[in-house]
Structure 1
Amino acid sequence: MRVRGERECRECGRHWSYFETGSVECPTCGSLHSVGTGDREAHTDAPVDLDLREHRQRFGETTSVLPTDGVTDLKRDLRAYVHKRGFVHAGELTELDATYLAARELLEAVDVYDRLRQPTADDQAYLLDLLAGADGGDRPRTAEVPTTMRSARGMATALAVETYREALATYLAESTADTDASRRTSAFGHTDASGHTDASGHTDAPNGFPQRREEPSTVSASQSREGESLQHVQLDRLRERLRDRTNQILALQGDVDPSVADELVRATRAIYAAVTTGDEDALDRANAHLDDAAPIS
C-alpha cells in the first residue's frame, strides 16, 4: 500500500516518521489526531523486533518433550514477527534478510520437533541452536541440519521466498507506475525550483527569459527504453522460475536437501541486487542459482 511517511500532530505540532513507528499516534502527546504530509510511498513493512530471550530461558532445560505453554507462546511471537515484516520500506525494496529466514525456520522447526515421537540429541541441538541465534539472524550451518529437520528448512525457505516474490511484484508494479507518470509529466513539460516549464518545453527562468529545456537524443532515449524493457522481461522470467521452484519445494513439504534451500535464497538475493543496482550479471547469477535449486527428493 502507499502511505504518507511523514505525519504532523494536530495537537502539539510534533513531526515524526510513520515508516519508523508504524503508528499514527503522536510519540510526544499520544494524540491520534494527526495528518499525513509529504508524498505517498509504497510500504509493506512494519517496525518490529524479534526478542527470544524469554523463550530461551524457558526452553533451556528441555530434554525431549517441549512444554505446551512454551510452544504456544513461542509460535505466537514468531508468527507476529513474520506477519508484520515486509520487504518494501518507504518505497525502497529491501533484501531477504537472515533474521526473517531464521524466524521462519524456527517456527517450522518447532512444529517438526513437536511431531517427532523420539527426538534425538541432534534434533534437540538443532532446535536449541535455532532458538539461540534466530533473533540475531544466525542459523545452524547447512551440514548441521538433521535429516528429520530438512523439511523445516525447506518449508521455511519456500514460504519466505514466496512472500518476498509477492513483495517484489508489488515493488515493480509501483516502480513502473512511477516511471510512466514521470514520462507523462516530461512529455508535457517540467517544473523545477528555478521556474515553470510550459507544454512547449520552455522554462521561465528567474530572469524572466524563456530557456529551452535540453532533451536527450531520440536514439539514446529509445535505447534506454529498450534496455529497461529487456530487463523487465528477464525479471518476469526470473519471478516465474522463482515461483516454480518454491511450488516444487512446497509440494514436497519442504523435504529437500538443505543446499537446495540455500540456492533458492541466493537466487532471491541476486534478483534483489539486479533490481536495486541494475547489475546485469546478477540476473545471470540468479538463473544459475535457480538451476541449482531444483529439488531432488
Structure 2
Amino acid sequence: MDVRGERECKSCGTRWSYYETGSVECPDCGSMRSVGVGERSTHTDGNADLDLSAAREAAADGDLRGALDPAADACRDYCQSRGFVSGGDLLDLDDTYLAAQELRRAAVLLGDALRTSDDAERYVLALLNGAEDGQRPAPDEVPEALRAVRGLAYAAAVDHYRTDVRTYCGGEVPEPERGLLERLRDHAKRVEALDGDVAPEDSERLVEATRAIADALRGDESGVERARTRLDALTR
C-alpha cells in the first residue's frame, strides 16, 4: 500500500518515521492522534521484531516441548507482519525471515510428534537460538527428518517475496526479471507439490536466485546472470 513516510502528532507536534516504526502512536507522548505528512511511497513492511525470548527461556530450563508453542506463535506473528518494500525501497529476503518461516514449521512438527530424534531437537534449538540474529543452519546441517520443513518454509518465503517484488514494480516487472520471476514461481510450486521434500541445497538455490533477481531490479547488472545460474542448477 502507499503510505506517507512521516507522522505528526496532533497533541504535541512530534514527527517520526512511520517506515521505521510502523506505528501511528507518538513516541514522545503516546497519543494515537497523528496524521501522515510528506509524499506517499509503497510500503508493505510492518517493521516487527522477532521476539523468541519466552521460547528460549523455556528451552533453557530444559523444557524444549514447552518452548515449541511460543516459538511457533512468535514466528507466525512475525512472518505475518513482514513485508519487503519499505518507503518505496525493495528490502532483502533476509535470514531472520527465512529462519522464522522454518522454525514455525519445525516447532509444529516436533510438537505433534510422539518421538523426536536428538538431531532434530538440536536443529530446532539452533534455529531458536539464532533466528533473531539472522543465523540459520547451513544446508548440510539439515536433518533428513526436517528437510521438507526447510523446503516448504523457503518456498513460502520466496512466494511472499515474489508478491512484494510485483508490488515494488507497480505490477509491471521489467524483462528479463519478469521471466526469471516466472521461473522462480514454477520452482516454488514444484517444491510445494513435493510437500517440501527436496534437497536443502536446492532450497538454498531458490533463495539465492530470489536475492539475485532483487539485486538486478536494484541495478546490479550481475544479478540477472547469477539468478539464471541458480535457476538452471535447479532443473538438472
Tell me the distance in 1 between the aligned counterparts of 2:234 and 2:53.
34
Matched, 1:173 2:170: yes
- In 1: Cα distance, 2:177 partner to 2:224 partner: 8
- In structure 2, the residue matched to 1:213 is none
Match of 2:210 in 1: 268
Residue 157 of structure 2: aligned partner: 160
Q: Which amino acid counterpart does residue 175 of structure 2 have in structure 1?
A: V
Deviations along 1:90-129, one digit per CA (max 9) or x if unpaired, are 1100110011001111111112223434311111111111
Identify unmatched segments of 5+ residues in structure 2. Answer: none
1:20 match: 20
- Offset at residue 53 of structure 1 (A): 2.7
Alpha carbons 1:5, 1:40 under 8 Å: kept: yes
Q: Secondary structure at the match of 1:233?
A: coil
Per-residue Cα deviation, 1:6-37 (whole angstroms, up to 9, x for no partner): 12122211111111221222222222222211
| 2: CA distance, partners of 1:18 / 1:124 | 39
Structure 1: segments with no counterpart, 5+ residues: 177-230
Contact preservation (8 Å) 2:147, 2:200: yes
- Distance in 1 of aligned mates of 2:176 and 2:20: 33
Distance 1:143 1:55 in 2: 25
Q: State how far apart, in whole Å, the 1-side matches of 2:163 and 2:10 are.
A: 36
TM-score by length of 2: 0.94
Deviations 1:141-193 (A, max 9, x none): 2111111010111011000000000000000117x6xxxxxxxxxxxxxxxxx
Match of 2:191 in 1: 249
Deviation at 1:49, TM superposition (A): 1.2
TM-score, length-normalised on structure 1? 0.75
Matched with 2:175 is 233
Task: Please say if residues 261 and 293 of structure 1, whose CA atoms lie closer than 8 Å, have aligned partners that are also in contact.
Answer: no
Deviation at 1:293, TM superposition (A): 2.7
Higher alpha-carbon deviation: 150-159 or 32-41: 32-41
Q: Counterpart of 1:179?
A: none
- Of structures 1 and 2, the larger Rg is shown by 1
Deviation, 1:233, is: 2.1
Alignment-derived partner of residue 227 in structure 2: 286
Tell me the CA shift for residue 61 of structure 1: 4.9
Give the secondary structure class of the aligned counterpart of 1:7.
Answer: strand
1:1-297 to structure 2, matched below 5 A, reads: 1-62=1-62, 66-67=65-66, 70-173=67-170, 232-277=174-219, 279-294=220-235
Mapped contact 1:44–1:85 kept (Cα < 8 A)? yes
